[in-house]
Chain A
Amino acid sequence: MDENFVCEYCNNKDKRYFGIKNGKYYCRRCIEFSHEQVDKSYQINKDAVELSLNYPLSEKQKNISNKVLNALIEKKNVLISAVTGAGKTELIYESFEYFLKRGLKVGFATPRKDVVIDLLPRFEQAFNKLKIVGIYQNHTKEMLGDIIVLTTHQLCHFKNYFDLLVLDEIDAFPYAGDFVLNNFFYNSVKGNYVMLSATCNKKDIDNIRKDNGVVFELNERYHKHDLIVPIFKYGSFHTRLMKIILILKRYNKENKPCFVFCSTIYLCERVFSYLKLFVKDGNVVNSKACMRDVIIEDFKKGKYKYLVTTSILERGVTVKNLQVMVFDADSKLYDKDSLIQISGRVGRKIDSYDGEVTFFGNVKTEAITNCIDRINYVNKNKNL
């Protein structure tokens, strides 16, 4: 048997993950993923590449967008650290256009399925003549297109494929800290990669500096208004419920949609069972709910006035005029980053930059204070 066996898909060398079949080692760490590879001979439709944006980029965005493109031409990797709602996705359109015009393969990966569904129409709008494919769980029939938007799990089909691969939300579950997914990502990059994040830590920055990379920062939202600073309110379970019901009724009158975040699925169901008695037109969304795509779609259309949800909607979702409440912000499951992401859901559109973020809890934990401090800091230093 080969003593120096290394898994060709996930680069695993740890012997505890090896199995023996017919006298040969095989890797069991990435065995849940299919190893079928896509056809690499796909030709990109170069003539149809045309970037059409409905709105112009802000000056700072243009500046960074140019810098990113230049870095990529110099064959460097890029990390963009920008606040929530800064328009991170728009920053890479220019680079996409440059690569596609030369017939190179580009892709956009993110850990969350909901983000993929959310991004597809945005790409279709920007590159309206190209074929854009979304690949995520239970949606894998069509694998080839000019622009591929996919979850990090589906990168297993694209070994050594992309000339430019963008990874959004690098600190999100399940990508962050997952050995197999991380290696899938690095293995599927043939050329360079761009990482996007609103809440990246020092480790990511160090890693990318080591790996021939540059870091760009953008501390200003697209519409140049401040990030919304969360308000913290004390209360026991029932007082919290009372307060939430009052606030929801006010939002209803003002016709504003609202998310109520809960830390666990159980709590989610329990809170909704109370809320639905007092406020009409709501629903629950969590990872176990069937038809979750349909519910989110309906919410965006305005069928529901509020959604009680777990952290699945904490990232990458853009709804106009949205307000946010967190039922148990003092829960151990919320760290600083996820709280920043949650408060970043509010005021993302140019015509509705204002909003409210309310955290409820019994104690003001370190994560909450850190989150509020960080948002204040970013607001102060946005012109840097």
Chain B
Amino acid sequence: MLIKTKICKRCFKNYIPSLIEELFYDKSEFCLDCLNKLENKIRYFKLCDCKCESLYDYENDYESKTVIDLIKNKYDIELTNMFIIKYLLYLKIKFYNYTICFAPSSKSSFNKRGFDHLHEMFKLLNNKKIDCFIKTQDIEQKHLNKVERLNINKYIKLNIDKKELKNKRILLVDDVMTTGSTLKACLELLKTCECKKIMGLVLLKHI
């Protein structure tokens, strides 16, 4: 057979990748129908005077909500690429020589899942990656209310030497942004490290 068929990892149906998909999403394992269900809405905003952007909306978008729920609560590792794949070329060009810093996540949920969902989500970007933050207490934010979430900066600390980040372009990434307190705390810490440039990127944002 000359035509290669693939199996979509979201709807489990066979599909034949079109030419555009072959060119731009060659590592994609999802059919275009499933990918197009995610509404791409890039939003630009500022946090602590740093430029940030989000790729999808969390509210109003049923598909993105279900996919992130499958990854984080049902431990489905195969879907992790789904958010990045549409923006892969854009992200590769825009953040060409940036170093990716991951926002901290709680250890207990990592043990339950068996994989680090943030690392898996940004696996397709070839940038240098460092895990520079650590949570001093194991807190899961989904049980907290808005006021309690604002105190999260007490528990976040730098994991590595500040010199390692000096004169580097840093891209801080996270999966879902609700109040922005985690991102704010991380950005404040990064600002003390004399980086060349700091930017933020979140996949899903509560409007």
Contacts and interface: CB of A to CB of B under 8 A. Distances in A.
Interface of A: 16-17, 19-22, 28-29, 31-32
B70 A31 contact: yes
B77 A32 contact: no
B16 to A, nearest CB: 16
Contacts of A20: 77-78
Given A20-B77, A28-B76, A32-B70, 6 more contacts: A16-B12, A17-B12, A21-B115, A22-B114, A31-B76, A32-B74
A21 B77 contact: yes
A16 B31 CA distance: 14
State the 3 A-B residue pairs at the shortest beta-carbon distance, nearest first. Answer: A19-B78, A21-B77, A16-B7
Interface string B64-105: 000000100011111000000000000000000000000000
Contacts of B75: 21, 31
Nearest to B7: A16
Nearest to A30: B74
B76 A19 contact: yes
Contacts of B114: 21-22
13 contacts: A16-B7, A17-B12, A20-B78, A21-B77, A21-B114, A21-B115, A22-B114, A28-B9, A28-B76, A28-B78, A31-B74, A32-B70, A32-B74
Contacts of B115: 21-22
A19 B74 CA distance: 13
Please classify the interface of chain B as helix (H, G, I), strand (E, B), loop, or mixed, using the class held by over half of its residues: loop
Contacts of B76: 19, 28, 31
Contacts of A21: 75, 77, 114-115
A17 B29 CA distance: 13
Nearest to A34: B74
A28 B10 CA distance: 10
Contacts of A29: 12
Nearest to B78: A19
Nearest to A21: B77
Contacts of B12: 16-17, 29
A25 to B, nearest CB: 11
A31 B7 CA distance: 18
A28 B77 CA distance: 10
B109 to A, nearest CB: 15
A331 B203 CA distance: 41
A22 B9 CA distance: 18
Interface string B1-25: 0000001010010000000000000
A22 B78 CA distance: 12
Contacts of A19: 9, 76-78
A29 B75 CA distance: 13
A17 B9 CA distance: 8
A17 B78 CA distance: 11
A19 B75 CA distance: 11
A29 B114 CA distance: 19
A20 B78 CA distance: 8
A21 B76 CA distance: 8
A32 B76 CA distance: 9
Contacts of B70: 31-32
Nearest to B69: A32
Nearest to A18: B78
B6 to A, nearest CB: 10
A31 B114 CA distance: 15
Nearest to B77: A21
Contacts of B77: 19-21
B114 to A, nearest CB: 6
Contacts of B78: 19-20, 28
Nearest to A24: B114
Contacts of B9: 19, 28
Nearest to B10: A28
Nearest to B120: A21
Nearest to A32: B74
A312 B9 CA distance: 30
- Residue among A17, A28, A29, A32 with the most chain B CB within 10 A? A28
Nearest to A33: B74
A21 B79 CA distance: 12
Nearest to A17: B12
A16 B15 CA distance: 13
A17 B13 CA distance: 10
B35 to A, nearest CB: 18
Interface in B1-58: 7, 9, 12
A9 to B, nearest CB: 13
A20 B76 CA distance: 9
A297 B97 CA distance: 61
A34 to B, nearest CB: 8
B206 to A, nearest CB: 20
A233 B75 CA distance: 53
A374 B115 CA distance: 56
Contacts of B74: 31-32
A28 B8 CA distance: 12
A19 B9 CA distance: 9
A17 B12 CA distance: 7
Contacts of A17: 12
